Structures are given as C-alpha cells and as structure tokens.
Chain A
C-alpha cells in the first residue's frame, strides 16, 4: 500500500522557519519526481515545487523561490521541505505528492498544517 506521511507542521511566527518531512512507503521512491502542493484554509490548491528523482533538478513557484528548499533522501525514502522567512500568506496545509506525469499527482499525503502568525 502506498503511503505518504507528512510531519513537522505547526505554529510559527512570521520570519521563522520550519522543516517538513514526508515519509514514503509502498513504492520505489527513488524512481519518481516528487512535489509539494499547498492549500490555504478555505482556498484552492497551489503547487509549491518539485524535485527530480536524484535531486539534481528542483523547481519552485515564484512566491517561494529563495525561501523554500526541497530535498530528498532516497536511502530513507523521505522528502523534505525547508521553509524559511515564513510569511502569513504561507499559512496552508502542505501536501507531499508523487508525480506521475506533468501536473499529474496520483498519491497524496494527508497534509500537515503550517500556521504563520504572531
């Protein structure tokens, strides 16, 4: 059974940092691009960024470039999202997702909520 389990969310002050983790099981993690997608409370979906199988390529939405970093550890079947210089508008549920094509994500984690507030 494919499972993606995010952790690391919580309440953080503006300007603060957090690191999200996503533990993956049930498929060959090193064979897939992986992405993070977020959803602000009561709002729509927003792609945050993705990372190639070997970590050699990473892409981000403009609003998080230079602040967020995606990484992965294929030996640990884990995906990470380092969030720095957090802003109120980064408040959202963050989903770890498996890429199966262009803008096609077939497995999603349960999501982890980040609240940026003073």
Chain B
C-alpha cells in the first residue's frame, strides 16, 4: 500500500480539465512544499511534470499545473489532449527518516 493516496483512475474528454489528487499526511505532503508529479507512458521511463508543488520544468506545457491544500496535493491538466493519456504519480518528501514517498498512481484516460 502506497504512502500517498491517489485515485486509481481519472478521465475527461478532449479540451476538458481534470484534476488528480494526492493525499498524504502532515508528515509528508502537508509538512513540506516538496511535491512532484510524474507522467509515465506504458513501457517508458517517467517524466517530471511538476516539482516543488507548483513549478514546471522547461518543456512541460502550461496546461499542467500543481497545487496543494493541507495534506492534499493536486495536479490539474487543462485542455486535455489525447497525448495526456498516461499514468501519473505524485511524490513527496517525508522527512529525514523516510525521505521519499510515492502515490500509487492514477491512470488518466482521455475519452
């Protein structure tokens, strides 16, 4: 069982917006502004989409945005495109003992 809780699936139609949640505790998501989101296509390595809760690496479309409220972080994909269909994982810093925790992943389907 993953330390962070993500919905197993999410979906939306092209052009719509979808938000994926990532719920942790005050010891991880709620305690630090170190949440990242990764996109992974089947058989491929993950790709960094968001880090430090809200920051986008260069090259990542601004359709992808991150936020956090309390112990829950969120990834919003606006203007859904077919190429956004993938698995998405959140991760958070969890202090000097545990270091890193991940969510179980969310499969995003573009209808």
Contacts and interface: CB of A to CB of B under 8 A. Distances in A.
The majority secondary structure among interface residues of chain B is: strand
B100 A108 contact: no
Contact of B91 (A47, A50, A59, A111): A47
Nearest to A47: B100
Residue from B38, B99, B104 whose CB has the most chain A CB atoms within 10 Å: B99
The majority secondary structure among interface residues of chain A is: strand
Interface of A: 37, 44-47, 50, 59, 61-62, 95, 100-106, 108-111
Contacts of B38: 45
A47 B99 contact: yes
A106 B46 contact: no
B81 to A, nearest CB: 22
Given A47-B100, A61-B100, A102 B32 contact: yes
